[in-house]
Amino acid sequence: MLARTHRLLAPALVVAGLLGWSAPKLADADEPGLPDTALLDDEADSPEQRQRLYDWLAEQAPQLDQHARVIKTVVRLVGPAVVHIEAHKQDGATSRRRTIEEAGSGVIIDLDGQLYVLTNRHVIRQAELENISIGLADGRIINPRRVWADPYTDVAAMAVDARGLIAARLGNSDDVEIGDFVLAMGSPFGLSRSVTHGIVSAKGRRDLDLSDDVELQDFVQTDAPINPGNSGGPLINLRGEVIAINTAIASNSGGSEGIGFSIPINMAVHVARQLIRHGKVMRAFLGVNLDSKFDAKAAAALGLPRKQGARILSLTPGAPAESARLEAGDVILRFDGRRVEDDKHLVYLVSLTEVGKEVPLVVFRSGQVLHMTVKVGDYHEFRGGAKRQP
């Protein structure tokens, strides 16, 4: 079951686990610097036994302290840019309308010299400006000046005016690798500026069945605990850079079960910048209908060594793909230098491309690899294109 990481505000007690590093595995007693393993099986009642253990811990602690200092420094740098968001929304018919209070998180970023709060659309959706409260790290409460939101990616940006704001440093989510250590910051269950720790568990999650129709997906998966209220908060690498925005969890209980999903920061910033500049996202359009059932067997039948790329079923008449002389049956292996993993990945790559850009393609056709170029168009000029197709 997938759940959004926001939650109705309600009185609750939450016990937070202490984050730390596991003690090193103990080796044999003849290894220098390690205590006798038999000693650890005893109750260590004698002062001598206890002192030996304390001495060993004192020798090992500096190594762990070094890791802890990295985490503390990241928190110190990014913490001032993390905000707590409360949105008061009206729900139901006019005659029976009730106010719903929801909590989430956000992060202050600098886009083209101006400061904005980046968050999830579902955190602030249907809330008026005056009903959105942004809690800053120094205790101040401000309201946004303007809000932009995109339903297809669940990204929202809020313009804010206040003195002394600190923006977080942005990383490159294309460089994120599975196994990278990350921190999640936000307001789980309304507990603002909480920090959890984990790794990147997977990348390219594109088949999440979210309650809203979020079509453009390329989530980073993490086991850093995120809970209701973390939505919109940053996922941060150990260089103190925001690499994703926490958005959803897979959970049977409604709380963290070690599977969280975050929007890559490159995608979130691209969408936010488009919203701020144009009032909408100017999405590129290729004009192809793709084979969602293209599998390893079909790839082998075409002569490909493995399943890769996105296979074209048909082309939209007059669209950029037709002008570039792409054909039905072609398999697009690379788009703008990026390896295409499947049809949904190509949709994602095209959606993040600047309208009008000439993009190099690598295409597999009739047993040959072709290098081509296509000038992507504007999606809004080709409304006849099939849903979820680039």
C-alpha 147/C-alpha 132 separation (Å) is 10
Cross-strand pairs, 111: 114
Same topology, domains 2-6+43-273 and 284-381? Answer is no
Identify whether 192 is a catalytic site residue.
no
Identify whether 122 is a catalytic site residue.
yes
* pLDDT tens digits along 198-231: 999 999 888 777 766 777 888 999 999 998 889 9
* Low-confidence winner among 62-66, 68-72, 89-93, 137-141 (lowest mean pLDDT): 89-93
Catalytic residue (choose from 173, 187, 231, 351): 231
Where along the chain do its domains lie?
A: 2-6+43-273, 284-381
Catalytic residue (choose from 154, 218, 223, 291): 154
* pLDDT tens digits along 344-365: 999 989 988 999 999 999 999 9
What is the mean predicted confidence (pLDDT) over 293-307? 93
* pLDDT tens digits along 255-289: 667 889 999 999 999 999 999 999 988 889 999 99
Catalytic residue (choose from 6, 84, 105, 122): 122
> Do the Cβ atoms of 381 and 370 come closer than 8 Å?
no
- Can you give the pTM of this predicted structure? 0.79
pLDDT at 19: 29
pLDDT score of 10 more than 70: no
pLDDT at 7: 41
* pLDDT tens digits along 23-37: 333 334 344 455 555
Identify whether 154 is a catalytic site residue.
yes
Selected from 3.40.350.10, 3.40.30.10, 3.40.50.360, 2.40.10.120, the CATH number assigned to the domain covering 2-6+43-273 reads 2.40.10.120
Burial label, 111 (beta-carbon count in 10 A; 0-12, 13-18, 19+) = middle
* Confidence label for 94 from pLDDT (cuts 50, 70 and 90): low
**Ordered alpha helix ranges (H), 79-207:** 121-124
Q: Which fold has domain 284-381?
A: Pdz3 Domain (2.30.42)
C-alpha 244/C-alpha 231 separation (Å) is 11
61 phi-psi bin (left φ>0, alpha ψ -120 to 50, beta other) = alpha
Cα–Cα nearest to 304, from 389, 362, 388:
362
C-alpha 334/C-alpha 345 separation (Å) is 11
The two beta strands, 155-159 and 169-170, are unpaired
